[in-house]
Amino acid sequence: MRHKRWVVLLAVVGFVIAAAFTTAAFSKHGSAHAAESDDSPLLAPSTTLRPPPTRATTTTFDVRSLPRPQPPPADPYAPSPIIQIGAIEIPKIQLLHPIFEGITLTVIDHGPGHWPGSAMPCQRGNSVFPGHRVTHTHPFLNIDQLSPGDKIIFHMPTEVCVYKVTGTQIVDPNALWVTDPTAQPTVTLIACHPKHSAAQRIVVKGVLVSRTPVKS
């Protein structure tokens, strides 16, 4: 069964690589440093990196030991290597799609991208994945339909990581705090909101509930 699943995943990858992606013109919002397309899931740099002080003021772990995401790219359109790291599956919305390393638009145009520096799936910390909502392969088109308890599954080369959705929120484009490290293994999916607009971001959060090694 594992072999068949990876055959399916490889087929999906082949389709993605072979597909002729359009290069429609992007409309920019704000400064060039925060340039975005009509469907760019990237978060804009901001000096406000934290939400209102509703979190606990003390913790039992050293945040410096947790994976920390890199700042958003200075040039969202910079050419980047297309490196597949696994696949994401969300049964609720019938999604099965390759995932890639990097968050430049040249990467995200192929599928959801892992935010460099953030935790990898199954790893302790916050695993962050922006993705398109209405353009290209539009993997996150229907993530607004996800409810607490729905599964987000990552098929990685060595293990399968199952998260359950804990909640969804709508934030401004400068809400970089959604990428903050977490003490437990969590996932954050980011896409534009509403559909066909980059005015805001929809953020789906989840927590790891199981991890299973992939049998060779």
Query: What's the domain count of the chain?
Result: 1
From CA 165, how far away is CA 160, in angstroms rounded?
Answer: 16
pLDDT at 83: 98
Residue 158 CB neighbour total at 10 angstroms: 10
Q: Is position 90 within any domain?
A: yes
Query: Tell me, what CATH number does 155's domain have?
Result: 2.40.260.10
pLDDT at 43: 72
Secondary structure, 3-state, the chain: CHHHHHHHHHHHHHHHHHCCCCCCCCCCCCCHHHCCCCCCCCCCCCCCCCCCCCCCCCCCCCHHHCCCCCCCCCCCCCCCCCCEEEEEEEHHHCEEEEEEECCCHHHHCCCCEECCCCCCCCCCCEEEEECCCCCCCCCCCCHHHCCCCCEEEEECCCEEEEEEEEEEEEECCCCHHHHCCCCCCEEEEEEEECCCCCCEEEEEEEEEEEEEECCC
pLDDT at 216: 76
Q: Is position 59 within any domain?
A: no
pLDDT, mean of each 10-residue run, the chain (216 residues): 43 36 31 42 56 45 80 92 98 98 96 98 97 96 98 98 98 96 97 95 98 91
Model-level pTM greater than 0.85?
no
Q: Is position 13 within any domain?
A: yes
Q: Is position 60 within any domain?
A: no
Q: Is position 61 within any domain?
A: no
pLDDT at 63: 66
Q: Is position 35 within any domain?
A: yes
pLDDT at 57: 43
Q: Is position 58 within any domain?
A: no
pLDDT at 65: 82
Check: CB of residue 39 under 8 Å from CB of residue 49. Answer: no
pLDDT at 47: 40
Q: Which domain holds residue 103?
A: 2-22+29-50+66-213
